[in-house]
């Protein structure tokens, strides 16, 4: 698809919008429109706003008067959106929202102009469906209560473990098979502990309050119980733990969970874990290269239940290849019977670097409609079973342009997930692929400091990463005028 951009700079949003309708196509952005090549979407600003679409036999033109710059962008998008809805017959449940944080957008509209304005904007300017607006509103209320508990000194910690037992076909995370990278694991764990100690020193000097800790990846429980203990003990001994309100470890893959590892988590104050079935259909598990069975998921859940963690979360994915509506329904019903404190319902995202996409799997209309029905069922069932949506985000190239939603029983929402999605406060990142996201508590200003992605780079260039962390002091002294002695 050729997307022509004439006399304006809104190509980013228009490209993302076009991708909602043509997820499998290459979209070429062209600024010189001397000679329009079909199929095309031509967007023009001159004495008016104009959109002209020509795709095969289909051709439409819409135009509108000029407005303020930000509104010009929205109006151009609206015209493209309306024409592409007509052309494709696709119903976009999130309307023309392309961003990953619809709840944050809703919150800021509500804060600036009130709830009625935010509702109206979502419905009539962004064309969000009633159902997704309602989901946004419920989520926003629950999130807000938790966001309000964060103070200007609050911060959180992310610890990345970039190893997995094998690679799932839909995954695009940079992670390494623990078998193939055996030789890297020990040096990695040693250096990660060093980085944690350094980070604890920074937090202490800045007099910040560490409130939530999240160990994810990858699959943290692909490490041995001893390696896990070493990292967790480092956290407990290096950081001031008196303000930590939750400590999460993503156990993730059921095939990595053992009694010894659960003992290690429990002994080291971890109070939340995830056991992620994704589906309880063995055929689908095979299809997505998950390398574990439903029986293993159920056995791991039963084992973990004996340890009395405050929260066990289970992740599911709607829209997996080979999964049907009734199989998804069956998975969710069985998961709800187990009664975990949290259930996170993801929608399959067809990441470009995943094996699924590389194999040529495409997003089609039927899959999108089926995934939408799955989410509709999930919403109904989870509300009935007294779960509430507490955080929500979207990704690019999701089947049906849907969403991922975390559902929880009242009072056991994951603080970390909310803080990350809302960008409430600074998150310190340790480990390969981790990003330290510094947040000015008095504005929306964010600064990111990246660690190296691959475990071998993390090990080989470890000191460079520590040096980058020096920037944290200048960020805080600039933003907060903190007085600290170094
Ligand atoms: S367990 Fe998670 S991080 Fe690991 S390969 Fe599968 S999807 Fe990716």
- pLDDT by residue (tens digit) across 183-208? 999 999 999 999 999 999 999 999 99
Å from CA of 121 to ligand 1 middle:
37
Query: Does the residue 61 lie in any domain?
Result: yes
For atom 3 of ligand 1, the residue with the nearest CA is 218
Region of poorest pLDDT, from 182-196, 291-305, 369-383, 467-481: 467-481
Looking at the fold, whether 195 and 120 belong to one and the same domain comes out as: no
Query: Does the residue 485 lie in any domain?
Result: no
Å from CA of 14 to ligand 1 middle:
31
Å from CA of 168 to ligand 1 middle:
6
Q: Is the CB of 344 under 6 A from ligand 1?
A: no
Query: Does the residue 480 lie in any domain?
Result: no
For atom 7 of ligand 1, the residue with the nearest CA is 171
Query: Does the residue 481 lie in any domain?
Result: no
- Whether 449 shows a pLDDT value over 80: the answer reads yes
What lies within 8 Å, CB to CB, of 70 at 6+ separation is none
DSSP state of 454: S
Looking at the fold, whether 429 and 464 belong to one and the same domain comes out as: yes
Å from CA of 349 to ligand 1 middle:
13
> Containing domain of residue 137, as a range?
102-145
Q: For residues 401 and 454, what is the distance between their CA atoms, to the nearest angstrom?
A: 30
Helices (H), 160-287: 182-205, 225-238, 259-267, 282-287
Looking at the fold, whether 256 and 116 belong to one and the same domain comes out as: no
Provide the token pair at 436.
């330290």
> In this predicted model, which residue has the larger pLDDT, 299 or 486?
299
Q: For residues 412 and 277, what is the distance between their CA atoms, to the nearest angstrom?
A: 20
Looking at the fold, whether 303 and 429 belong to one and the same domain comes out as: yes
Å from CA of 171 to ligand 1 middle:
6
Query: Does the residue 240 lie in any domain?
Result: yes
Place 94 in a pLDDT band, splitting at 50, 70 and 90. very high
Say which CATH number the domain at 284 has: 3.80.30.20
Closest CA to 72 of 136, 132, 6, 118: 6
Q: Is the CB of 209 under 6 A from ligand 1?
A: no
Looking at the fold, whether 173 and 207 belong to one and the same domain comes out as: yes
Å from CA of 385 to ligand 1 middle:
28
Looking at the fold, whether 122 and 222 belong to one and the same domain comes out as: no
Q: For residues 45 and 375, what is the distance between their CA atoms, to the nearest angstrom?
A: 39
Q: Is the CB of 297 under 6 A from ligand 1?
A: no
To the nearest whole percent, how much of the chain has pLDDT over 70? Answer: 98
| Cβ pair 272, 305 in contact under 8 A | no
Looking at the fold, whether 315 and 407 belong to one and the same domain comes out as: yes
User: Domain count of the chain?
Assistant: 3
Q: Is the CB of 171 under 6 A from ligand 1?
A: yes
Looking at the fold, whether 124 and 266 belong to one and the same domain comes out as: no
Distances (CA, A) of 143 to 34, 158, 276, 420: 49, 20, 23, 11
Predicted pLDDT of residue 51 = 97
Looking at the fold, whether 136 and 188 belong to one and the same domain comes out as: no
User: How many alpha carbons fall within 13 Å on the CB side of residue 61?
Assistant: 5
Å from CA of 173 to ligand 1 middle:
7
Place 481 in a pLDDT band, splitting at 50, 70 and 90. low
Choose one of 55, 88, 121: the last residue of a domain: 88
> Over the stretch 304-363, which tens digit does the pLDDT of each residue have?
999 999 999 999 999 999 999 999 999 999 999 999 999 999 999 999 889 999 988 888
Say which CATH number the domain at 65 has: 3.30.160
- Whether 14 shows a pLDDT value over 80: the answer reads yes
Ligand 1 mutation pick, 160, 163, 164, max ligand atoms within 8 A of CB: 164
- Whether 483 shows a pLDDT value over 90: the answer reads no
Nearest atom (ligand 1) to Cα of 167: 5
Side by side, the strands of the sheet bearing 28-30 are: 28-30, 2-6, 40-45, 49-55, 58-64
């Amino acid at each position: 698809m050729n997307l022509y951009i004439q006399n304006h700079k809104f190509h980013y949003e228009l490209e993302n919008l076009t991708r909602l309708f043509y997820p499998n196509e290459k979209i070429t952005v062209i600024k010189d429109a001397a000679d329009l090549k079909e199929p095309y979407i031509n967007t023009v600003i001159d004495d008016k706003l104009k959109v002209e679409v020509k795709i095969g036999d289909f051709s439409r033109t819409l135009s509108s008067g000029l407005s303020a710059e930000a509104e010009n962008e929205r109006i151009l998008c609206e015209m493209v959106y309306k024409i592409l809805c007509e052309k494709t017959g696709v119903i976009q449940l999130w309307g023309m929202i392309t961003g990953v944080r619809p709840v944050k957008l809703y919150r800021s509209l509500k804060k600036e102009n009130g709830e009625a304005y935010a509702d109206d904007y979502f419905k009539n300017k962004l064309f969000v469906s009633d159902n997704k607006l309602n989901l946004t509103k419920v989520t926003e209320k629950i999130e807000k209560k938790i966001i309000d508990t964060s103070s200007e000194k609050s911060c959180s910690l992310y610890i990345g473990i970039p190893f997995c037992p094998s690679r799932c076909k839909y995954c695009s995370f940079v992670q390494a098979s623990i078998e193939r990278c055996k030789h890297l694991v020990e040096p990695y764990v040693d250096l990660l502990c060093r980085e944690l100690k350094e980070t604890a020193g920074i937090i202490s000097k800045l007099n910040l309050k560490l409130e939530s800790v999240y160990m994810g990846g990858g699959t943290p429980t692909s490490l041995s119980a001893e390696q896990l203990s070493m990292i967790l003990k480092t956290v407990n001994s290096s950081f001031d733990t008196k303000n930590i309100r939750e400590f999460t470890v993503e156990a993730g893959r059921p095939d990595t969970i053992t009694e010894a590892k659960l003992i290690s988590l429990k002994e080291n104050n971890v109070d939340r874990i995830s056991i992620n079935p994704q589906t309880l259909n063995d055929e689908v598990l095979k299809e997505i290269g998950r390398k574990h069975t439903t029986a293993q998921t159920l056995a791991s859940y039963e084992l973990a239940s004996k340890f009395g963690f405050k929260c066990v979360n289970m992740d599911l994915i709607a829209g997996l290849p080979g999964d049907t509506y009734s199989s998804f329904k069956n998975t969710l019903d069985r998961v709800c019977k187990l009664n975990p404190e949290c259930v996170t319902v993801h929608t399959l995202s067809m990441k470009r670097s995943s094996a699924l996409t590389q194999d040529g799997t495409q997003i089609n209309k039927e899959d999108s409609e089926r995934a939408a029905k799955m989410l509709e069922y999930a919403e109904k069932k989870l509300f009935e079973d007294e779960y509430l949506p507490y955080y929500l985000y979207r990704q690019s190239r999701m089947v049906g342009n849907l969403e991922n939603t975390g559902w929880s029983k009242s009072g056991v929402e994951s603080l970390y997930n909310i803080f990350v999605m809302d960008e409430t406060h600074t998150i310190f990142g340790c480990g390969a692929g981790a990003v330290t996201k510094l947040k000015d508590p008095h504005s929306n200003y964010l600064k990111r400091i990246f660690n190296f992605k691959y475990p071998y780079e993390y090990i080989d260039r470890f000191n460079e990463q520590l040096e980058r962390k020096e920037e944290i002091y200048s960020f805080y002294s600039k933003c907060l005028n903190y007085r600290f002695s170094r």
